[in-house]
């Protein structure tokens, strides 16, 4: 396993008060939602806004990719808009993933996990981080990490494939987990090409995750995946089998699709399904409770003239047994054929039951609410 140490430069925090009009390219009037739902701007000015997490006191932390920064947002007057954005830390190596636990902010760089202790209320003066683990590969290809604490108190960390399709073995194509101090590092699941979003079912506490399908098999194959992992030790097929049914033309001769766990739901091909959350709020109608919302970022892998997939928020509906019974668009309009002005990345349910959606193209966070 490759290990790389990257120096962290903690910049002086910078805050920007909101109030200016949204960026001209943001076109909220084009977003289509089910009847009764509304979309508004929650925050802007967050370059490359990616994964989100929140603290019990209401601070929303947002990771980034190319910006190398982690932001903090607060809505103290509860008007549905962030009062300010604070750059908590900068100079990191693609800090895509963020998680919060016991007063500390965990940040995932490409090859290591950092912890910023006692991050609140001193958001403007975060000190140097603790290196929780530096035992992850430094490959940039699929190296952007989403992290999240599970119901078991362990931190889950994916290691994507360092390629389009290849058979490199451990530690790649996996989801790892470890204790908050970095000890007890172990593999939870294998056969995962590149997950950048996962969550646990609110009642069964089973892990669900998105996975991006391989490229260069055509415009309509393979589909991205929504997977369900009720226990450790499962294998989800990559690189031998895709979407549960397609034997890889290069590596599939080694294994059969029947050996692996099939997706809970095949998603659109090349939609780049990444962030996902179970809806646990009470603001949306009852039919949305405990359903899966998915941020489909949108992919490049389409022939000239063929409309792109993704660039929307979709919903996968489950029945009482946890089986997916439908899948389709919930919020769309960031894409018009091959013209796209926004790319959803991650989702977060606020205490009031509204849903945040990050957009790394515009550096903004949207808020979707229901009712007045």
Closest by CA position to 6, among listed 108, 127, 142, 77: 108
* Side-chain-side CA neighbours of residue 277 (13 Å): 23
Alpha carbons 10 and 5: distance in angstroms, whole number: 16
d(CA 196, CA 51): 9
CA 298 to chain centre: 13
Number of CB atoms found within 10 A of residue 305's CB: 7
pLDDT tens digits along 202-255: 999 999 999 999 999 999 999 999 999 999 999 999 999 999 999 999 998 889
pLDDT 10s digits, 1-22: 333 333 333 333 333 333 333 4
Other beta carbons within 10 angstroms of residue 288's beta carbon come to 20
Structural domains in the chain, CATH included, are 14-18+28-370 (2.120.10.30)
Q: Which two tokens stand for residue 9?
A: 């430069």
The tens digit of pLDDT for each residue in 10-62 reads 333 333 333 333 445 899 999 999 999 999 999 999 999 999 999 999 999 99
Is this structure's pTM higher than 0.75? yes
């Amino acid at each position: 396993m490759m290990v790389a140490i990257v120096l962290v430069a903690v910049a002086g925090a910078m805050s920007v008060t909101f109030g200016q009009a949204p960026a001209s390219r943001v076109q909220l009037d084009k977003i289509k939602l089910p009847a009764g739902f509304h979309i508004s701007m929650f925050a802007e000015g967050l370059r490359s806004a990616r994964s989100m997490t929140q603290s019990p006191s209401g601070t929303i932390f947002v990771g980034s990719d190319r910006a190398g920064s982690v932001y903090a947002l607060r809505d103290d007057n509860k008007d549905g808009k962030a009062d300010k954005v604070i750059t908590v830390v900068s100079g990191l190596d693609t800090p895509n993933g963020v998680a919060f636990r016991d007063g500390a902010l965990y940040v995932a760089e490409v090859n290591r996990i950092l912890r910023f202790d006692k991050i609140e209320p001193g958001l403007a003066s975060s000190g140097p981080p603790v290196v929780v683990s530096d035992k992850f590969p430094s490959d940039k290809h699929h190296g952007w990490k989403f992290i999240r604490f599970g119901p078991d108190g362990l931190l889950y960390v994916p290691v994507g494939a360092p390629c389009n399709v290849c058979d490199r073995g451990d530690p790649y194509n996996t989801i790892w987990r470890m204790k908050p101090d970095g000890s007890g590092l172990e593999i939870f699941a294998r056969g995962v090409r590149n997950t950048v979003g996962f969550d646990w079912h609110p009642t069964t506490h089973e892990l669900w995750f998105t996975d991006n399908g391989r490229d260069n098999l055509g415009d309509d194959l393979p589909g991205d995946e929504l997977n369900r992992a009720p226990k450790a030790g499962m294998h989800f097929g990559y690189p031998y089998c895709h979407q549960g049914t397609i034997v890889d033309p290069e590596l599939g001769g080694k294994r059969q699709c029947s050996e692996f766990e099939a997706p809970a739901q095949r998603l659109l091909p090349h939609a780049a399904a990444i962030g996902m959350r179970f809806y646990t709020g009470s603001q949306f109608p009852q039919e949305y409770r405990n359903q899966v919302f998915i941020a489909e970022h949108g992919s490049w892998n389409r022939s000239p003239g063929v409309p792109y997939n993704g660039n929307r928020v979709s919903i996968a509906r489950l029945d009482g047994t946890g089986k997916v019974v439908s899948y389709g668009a919930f919020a769309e309009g960031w894409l018009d054929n091959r013209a796209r002005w926004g790319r959803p990345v991650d989702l977060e349910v606020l205490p009031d039951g509204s849903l945040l959606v990050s957009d790394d193209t515009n550096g903004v966070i949207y808020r979707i609410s229901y009712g007045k």
